[in-house]
Chain A
Amino acid sequence: MAASGLVFIGFVLAHMYGNLKAFGGEESFNEYAEHLRTIGEPLLPESGLLWILRLGLIAALVVHVASAFALWKRASDARPVKYQVAKRRNSSLSSRTMRWGGLTILAFLVWHLLNFSIVKINPAGGETNNPYQLMVDTFDLWWMTLIYLVAMAALAMHLHHGTFSAMQTLGFTQTVAARSRARLAGWVVAVVVAGGFSLVPLFTLFGVIE
Chain B
Amino acid sequence: MNLTLNIWRQANPTAAGAMHQYHVQDISEDMSFLEMLDVLNEQLNEQGEDPVAFDHDCREGICGSCDLMIDGQAHGPEVTTTCQLHMRSFKDGQEITIEPWRASAFPVIKDLIVDRSAFDRIIQAGGYVSVNTGAAPDAHATPVPQADALKAFNVATCIGCGACVAACPNGSASLFMGAKITHLGRLPQGQPERDERVVNMVAQHDHEGFGGCTNIGECTAACPKEIPLDVISQLNRDLRTAIRNGH
Contact = CB atoms under 8 A, between A and B. Distances in A.
B192 interface: no
Given A79-B104, A171-B238, A85 B97 contact: yes
Interface residues of B, number: 41
Contacts of B211: 71, 74-75, 77-79
Interface of A: 70-71, 74-75, 77-92, 95-96, 98, 161, 164-165, 167-176, 178-179
Which 7 residue pairs of A and B lie closest in terms of their CB atoms, listed nearest first? A171-B237, A78-B171, A90-B221, A78-B211, A87-B72, A85-B72, A75-B170
Contacts of A92: 217
Given A83-B72, A174-B237, A78 B103 contact: yes
Contacts of A71: 170, 211-212, 214
B172 A78 contact: yes
A91 B73 CA distance: 13
Interface string B170-194: 1110000000000000000000000
A87 B222 CA distance: 11
Contacts, number: 114
Contacts of A85: 71-72, 97, 99
Contacts of B104: 77-80
Contacts of A86: 72
Given A89-B221, A90-B221, A168 B238 contact: no
Contacts of B238: 171
A85 B72 CA distance: 5
A87 B74 CA distance: 9
A65 to B, nearest CB: 15
B69 interface: yes
B229 interface: yes
Interface of B: 6, 8, 19, 69, 71-73, 97, 99, 102-105, 169-172, 209-212, 214-218, 220-222, 228-230, 232-240
B103 A173 contact: no
Contacts of A161: 215
B170 A84 contact: no
A32 B192 CA distance: 54
A91 B209 contact: no
A174 B239 CA distance: 14
B6 A84 contact: yes
B240 A98 contact: no
A112 to B, nearest CB: 25
Contacts of A96: 169, 216
Contact of A170 (B210, B221, B229, B240): B240
Contacts of A168: 215, 229, 232-233, 236
B92 to A, nearest CB: 20
22 contacts: A71-B170, A74-B211, A75-B169, A78-B211, A79-B211, A80-B104, A81-B102, A82-B102, A85-B99, A88-B218, A90-B220, A90-B221, A91-B169, A91-B216, A91-B217, A91-B218, A161-B215, A168-B215, A168-B229, A169-B236, A174-B234, A176-B228
